[in-house]
Amino acid sequence: SGDTYQIDRALDAVNAGGLIGRGPGEGVVKRILPDAHTDFIFAVAAEEYGLIAGLVIIGIFAAIVLHTLRRAMDEPDLFVQFASCGLVALFGLQALINMSVNVNLMPAKGMTLPFISYGGSSLFALAFAMGMLLALTRRRAGAHAARQNGRGADA
């Protein structure tokens, strides 16, 4: 059996938060939990804001992923479908892995929670990926009429 100090402290934080949490800035586990601002930010949020905030965070990530997948299904271009599904899968899996580590469903990976955890390179990479995703799925004015006339989207 390996050292489970971080996971144990993260579970303590989630349990201490209860339904509504201890309040903003009132969490105590973040002071003793290594990497509380990166790998275990979900546990800190659950301690300070409670189970309700944890479910809201999960819901936001799920809504982004599901909305993007639904939007990708409407795209006629197969490249746009594959690229957008791949980018949103990267985003969703990273969030899922981080939250799973925080509640001891997976071993610690050192993976940040997208757009919430502290980390410059992760934030930059995710911002770049989401920018590409927005560019791939944007609606262009007149694109539908141009497709119907047989001129393509670039006309």
The model's pLDDT over 6-37, given as tens digits with 9 standing for 90+, comes to 888 888 888 888 888 888 888 888 888 777 78
Contact 37, 117 (CB under 8 A): yes
Total number of domains constituting the chain? 1
User: pTM score, two decimals?
Assistant: 0.80
Please give the Cα distance from 100 to 13 (Å, whole number).
14
Taking alpha carbons only, the member of 129, 152, 153 closest to residue 140 is 153
Residue 35, helix vs strand vs coil: coil
The model's pLDDT over 36-61, given as tens digits with 9 standing for 90+, comes to 788 888 988 998 999 999 999 999 99
In a domain, 146, yes or no: no
Domain extent for 92: 5-139
Residue 36, helix vs strand vs coil: coil
Find the radius of gyration of the CA atoms of the chain.
20
In a domain, 85, yes or no: yes
